[in-house]
Structure 1
Amino acid sequence: MTDYLGIVSTINKECKILFVEPFRLVPYKGHHNIFLFRIEGSSTALNRYDSEPVKVLKWFDKYWLFIEVKFIVEKSKKKQKLISIIHTNISISVYEGEDSDEKKTQLFRAEWDDFNNPNELHSQPHWHITSSQAVEKTFEEYSNHFDNGDFVSLLEDQRAKLFDVKKIHFAMNGNWQANQSHIHTVQSSEQVSKWLKGLLNHIRVELEK
C-alpha cells in the first residue's frame, strides 16, 4: 500500500475519542525516505528501547502513552514519486507515573512491524514486557545511595541473574490454530486504526481492574 498519510490521518480521526487531552500524531524528524510521526505529549519520559527522552500523553489516572509510527518508503528512480511502503512500524508504549515524574516506568510496548517479509522471524504484531525496568531502577537507586563496594557488587550480581524478558517478542495475534502464519501485514488505514483502538480499549480494561 502507498497511502502512509492516510494511515496517520485515520489514526488521528478515529483514536482521539479515547483521550481527554488532545490526541494527534504529528510529523517528527525523518531521514530521506523515512517518514516519522509521534504523539503530541505533555510530559517527559524515557523510551528504554533506545534510551531516548520522549513526550508522553496523559491517558487516564497515572498512565501515559507514547505512540510512534514510522514508514520507510521506496521511490521511483525516474520521477521521484512515492510508489510503495517497504516497511511500516507502529510502536505503542504504556507508562506509569506521576505528572512531575520524569522517570516514569515503561510497563510494556506493543509493536507491529511490517517488513514485507513472509519469512519474518518475529510474530507481528507482538508485545514487549518492559516493567522489569522498575526493578532495575531500584537497583540503580540503591547502588547510588550506598558507598559499600561489597553491597553494590551484590546488587549487580543479583541484577545479572534477572532474565531479560524485554528482548522477547510475545505474539499478539498468531493464528496457529487455523494453520496460518504468525505474520500479519498492513493492508489498510482502517485495519490499523481498528487494531489500535481495540488494543488501547483492551489495555485500559486490564489496567482498571
Structure 2
Amino acid sequence: MQLEVVNKEKVIQFCQQILADNIRKSVRIVLDFEQPYETRYSLNLDGYNFVGANDKGRLVKVVPFYRGYWLHFSIEFDLQSRSSKSYDYYLKGVALAIFYGSEATNEEKLLMFRAEWDNKNDEDTRTDNPQPHWHFQNADSYVKAEYVADFNVFMGFKEEESTGFLEEIGEIRPQPTPKSVNISGFHFAMSAGWIFEQPHKHILTEKSLKVWLDKTLKHIKQQLEHYC
C-alpha cells in the first residue's frame, strides 16, 4: 500500500495555523533541510533565537509554549517514488519536542519529552514501533543539580562549600550508579488499540495530522497547567 500523496504547501499552511492558535503567537514554518528526495521544515518565531539540543544532539530552535516550557516542531516529506520523475510527496514524519529553561538567559533549553509520528506503511516490517508515540528523556541529574545550586545560594554558601545538608534530610537521595540507563529511545505508545484488539501502528495522513497536532498540543498544555 502506497502512502498518501500530499500537497506540501497546504500541509505546512494548516500546521502553521494550528501551531499559532495553540502558542497564541504568529509563527512561521520554514525550510530547515533539503535533499533531492527529502525536505524538512521546522517552527520559527521572529525575534526569538533560543535553542536546545534535540535527541541527536543537534541544536534546534525553540519557541515559548507555557511558563518556562519551550516547543520545537518539525515535519518531513519524502518522494513517493525516487525512481519516478513526478514530484509526489508523502508525509515522512512529524515531531513535537518540549524543552525546559528560563527565558532570562540564552542557555540551551533542556529537552524533556517528545511526541512523534513516523509514517510506516503496512509492508514496512523492519520495526513494530507504535505510531504515534512518546519519548522521554533522562533529566534527573539536571534537576538535582538545580536543587543543590538553589539551596546553596539561599543559605549563602559558596559553590565549593556544599554541606550535604539536603542529602542528610532526604531531599536528595544519592542513587547508586553502577551503569547509566537511557530510555530516550523507548517508544511509548500514544494511540494503541490493544483493549479493542486493534494495532498500535497507524498511518499518518493529512486528515489524521490535523487532528493529532491540535489535540496533542492541547493535551500537553493542559497537563503542564495542572502538574508543572
TM-score by length of 2: 0.74
Whose strand fraction is larger, Structure 1's or Structure 2's? 1
Report the equivalent of 1:150. none
Q: Once superposed, which parts of structure 1, at least 4 consecutive aligned residues long, lie more than 2 Å away? A: 43-48, 74-78, 117-120, 136-139, 157-163
Q: Which of 134, 158, 175 is the equivalent residue of 1:127?
A: 134
The aligned residue for residue 68 of structure 1 is: 74
Q: CA distance change for structure 1 residues 73 and 184 in 2, over 3 Å: closer, same or farther? A: same
Q: Distance in 2 between matches of 1:84 and 1:21?
A: 29
- Please state whether the residue corresponding to 2:184 is helix, strand or coil: helix
Alignment of 1:99-110 (within 5 A): 99=103, 100-110=105-115
Cα distance, 1:24 vs. partner? 2.3
Assess if the C-alpha contact under 8 Å between 2:18 and 2:213 holds in 1.
Answer: no
| Cα distance between partner residues in 1 of 2:49 and 2:25 | 12
Aligned to 1:192: 209
CA drift of 1:138 comes to 6.3
State which structure, 1 or 2, has the greater radius of gyration over its C-alpha atoms.
2
Task: Spell out the pairing of 1:1-209 with structure 2 (5 A cutoff).
Answer: 1-5=4-8, 6-41=10-45, 42-75=48-81, 77=83, 80-85=85-90, 88-99=92-103, 100-118=105-123, 119=125, 120-130=127-137, 132-135=138-141, 158-159=176-177, 161-188=179-206, 190-209=207-226
RMSD: 2.5
Residue 134 of structure 1: how far off its partner (Å)? 5.0
Percent identity over the alignment is 21
Task: Classify the secondary structure of the residue corresponding to 2:5.
Answer: coil
Cα separation, partners in 2 of 1:136 and 1:59, compared to 1, 3 Å: closer
Structure 2 residue runs of 5 or longer lacking an equivalent are 149-158, 161-174
Mark the CA change 1:84 to 1:117 in structure 2 (over 3 Å): closer, same or farther: farther
Amino acid at match of 2:187: H
Aligned residue pairs: how many? 191
Residue in structure 1 matched with residue 169 of structure 2 by the alignment: none
Partner SS, residue 88 of structure 1: strand
